Amino acid sequence: MNHPLPPAVFKAYDIRGTVPTQLNELFAHRLGLALAARARREGVRSLAVGYDGRLSSPGLAQALKSGLHAGGIDTVDLGLAHTPLVYYAAHHEGSGSGVAVTGSHNPPDYNGFKMMMAGRTLHGDDIQALRQAMDGIQAPSGTTPGQNVANDMVETYIREITDHVRLARPMRIAIDCGNGVGGVAAARLFRALGCTVDELYCEVDGQFPNHHPDPADPANLQDLIDHLRDTDCELGLAFDGDADRLGVVTRSEQIIWPDRQMILFARDILQRVPGAAIIFDVKCSRHLSRTIQEAGGTPLMSQTGHSLIKARLAETGAPLAGEMSGHIFFKERWHGFDDGLYAGARLLEILSRSDDPSATLESLPQGISTPELKLPMAEGEPHEFIRRLQTEGCFPGATDRVIIDGIRAEYPDGFGLARASNTTPVVVLRFEGDTPEALTRIQDEFRAAITALLPGRELPF
């Protein structure tokens, strides 16, 4: 008899939880059986499987493959591989299907599964359908077991990138992989592009002994900033635990957040694809939307979430999409999945035309903004609170309210955002203003609106 499944691990965009209390090899085997059943229904015969550097990842990957094989599905075994390489292999092998065993940027005792099937990233209802399928699942009788074929695709991946991404001149850069699995390919890729590469923490170590592999937290970029100050590197690139997100720092210690990176990418792409739509999530700066319009493109605001952004990209045929967390998707000249290493390559291609890449990045427009601020709540509380804030919240100075994902109040000189995280029980807040006074005024309106619904609650701003 199968053990009960922990419902909390079935997230909006993937499956993720602690090992072994929530996820273990039995869970992975059952997931493999459920994915095999879906693959058979959709006419998929093979899935690419890769895993990150966490200590639990090889065992979970092996159990997942055993479930897929028992369900009659073949596997292309990528071994230790960053998540975008799994996506790349799924495209390259033609099935559009794969599983990355990864805990992304979570602590070492976490792990998880990011999945795509027949060209679609599984999310939302797809994840819940897998949960239902796993409950009581058994291997089908009379099915010919699937086979495993090992295929190290790193060189193929690097070759395809270097075939179309060309730097105008050699560059010296520093990269920080945070001991994540990006270390398998990052330095090799950037050297193949013609860079001199200083490596920080590129040895894969699932304990993450130097700092947490999450470039969204400024503290995790400090070692890279220090290295740039002490060397003649032109730029610093940082990657999260499974290398699907990019962080960027300049020589003068400025962090170029992903919405500003998107300004640079949008300007570049719209020169070749005039009038195209560019997709970004609700957390991004107003300057991104303005820049897209100024460059002749069409700005499209979307819900946050890499799976949701990817689905919107497929629906619209947009050449570029991105979100504030650092997931950036190139459809122009690439395959439309989020890849921190590829985004870094495209960034260097643009910046190699400049004598001072840091100055080019620092000249990108920006407001005065906060990082993501998090208001912790009980499990299940954030979404209900946001629903109340959308209907009952008072924002008297706002000129517009966007409610596609939480509530984003637009002002003539800034914006404020409150949305429920789909991965942890928190409300995420972000604010931007043209001046410190505007920022303070917008925060005060949100403070009043939130406190009216949650009197006495301590707020993170």
Q: How far is CA 319 from CA 109, 208, 264, 330, in A?
A: 37, 35, 14, 6
pLDDT at 350: 98
- Report how far residue 197's alpha carbon sits from residue 175's, in angstroms, rounded to the nearest whole number: 7
pLDDT at 344: 98
- Report how far residue 54's alpha carbon sits from residue 28's, in angstroms, rounded to the nearest whole number: 15
pLDDT at 351: 98
Between the two ends of the chain, the Cα-to-Cα distance in Å is 49
Q: How many domains does the chain have?
A: 4
Q: Are 110 and 19 in contact (CB under 8 A)?
A: yes
Residues 182, 237 within the same domain: yes
Tens-place pLDDT, residues 78-133:
999 999 999 999 999 999 999 999 999 999 999 999 999 999 999 999 999 999 99
Domain end position, chosen among 194, 220, 249 = 249
Residues 275, 327 within the same domain: yes
Q: Quick check: is 303 in a domain? A: yes
Q: Residue 414: which pLDDT band, with cuts at 50, 70 and 90?
A: very high
Please check the confidence at residue 307 and state whether its pLDDT lies above 90.
no
Tens-place pLDDT, residues 283-294:
999 999 999 999
Please check the confidence at residue 29 and state whether its pLDDT lies above 60.
yes
Tens-place pLDDT, residues 433-448:
999 999 999 999 999 9
Upstream peptide bond of 20 is cis (omega within 30 degrees of 0): yes
Q: Quick check: is 220 in a domain? A: yes
Q: Quick check: is 2 in a domain? A: no
Residues 273, 330 within the same domain: yes
Tens-place pLDDT, residues 130-175:
999 999 899 999 999 999 999 999 999 999 999 999 999 999 999 9
State the DSSP string of 312-367. Answer: HHHHHT-SEEE-TTS-EEE-TTS-SSB-HHHHHHHHHHHHTTSS-HHHHHHTS---
Q: Are 254 and 117 in contact (CB under 8 A)?
A: no
- DSSP one-letter code for 395: -
Residues 80, 99 within the same domain: yes
* Structure token digits, residue 341: 């290493």
* Structure token digits, residue 120: 């679609």
Q: Quick check: is 461 in a domain? A: no
To the nearest whole number, what is the mean pLDDT of the chain? 96
Q: Are 407 and 419 in contact (CB under 8 A)?
A: yes
Domain end position, chosen among 95, 121, 152 = 152
- Report how far residue 281's alpha carbon sits from residue 274's, in angstroms, rounded to the nearest whole number: 21
CATH code of the domain covering residue 381: 3.30.310.50
Q: Quick check: is 162 in a domain? A: no
- Report how far residue 356's alpha carbon sits from residue 351's, in angstroms, rounded to the nearest whole number: 8
Residues 324, 426 within the same domain: no
- DSSP one-letter code for 239: E
User: Is 57 an annotated catalytic residue?
Assistant: no
Residues 310, 196 within the same domain: no
Residues 18, 135 within the same domain: yes
Q: Are 16 and 103 in contact (CB under 8 A)?
A: yes
Q: Are strands 320-322 and 414-420 parallel, antiparallel or unpaired?
A: unpaired
Residues 137, 26 within the same domain: yes
Residues 303, 221 within the same domain: no
Taking Cα atoms as reference points, which of 339, 448, 455, 322 lies closest to residue 394?
448
Tens-place pLDDT, residues 345-400:
999 999 999 999 999 999 999 999 998 899 999 988 999 999 999 999 999 999 99
Taking Cα atoms as reference points, which of 385, 388, 390 lies closest to residue 401?
390
Domain end position, chosen among 152, 184, 212 = 152
Q: Quick check: is 157 in a domain? A: no
Residues 280, 233 within the same domain: no
- Report how far residue 105's alpha carbon sits from residue 107's, in angstroms, rounded to the nearest whole number: 7
Out of 46, 104, 325, 421, which one is annotated catalytic?
A: 104
Contacts of 193 (CB under 8 A, 6+ apart): 161, 162, 165, 167, 345, 348
CATH code of the domain covering residue 225: 3.40.120.10
Please check the confidence at residue 1 and state whether its pLDDT lies above 70.
no
Domain that includes residue 226, residue range: 172-249
Residues 22, 94 within the same domain: yes
Residues 119, 29 within the same domain: yes
Q: Quick check: is 273 in a domain? A: yes
Q: Quick check: is 131 in a domain? A: yes
- Report how far residue 344's alpha carbon sits from residue 310's, in angstroms, rounded to the nearest whole number: 19
Q: Residue 2: which pLDDT band, with cuts at 50, 70 and 90?
A: low
pLDDT at 66: 98
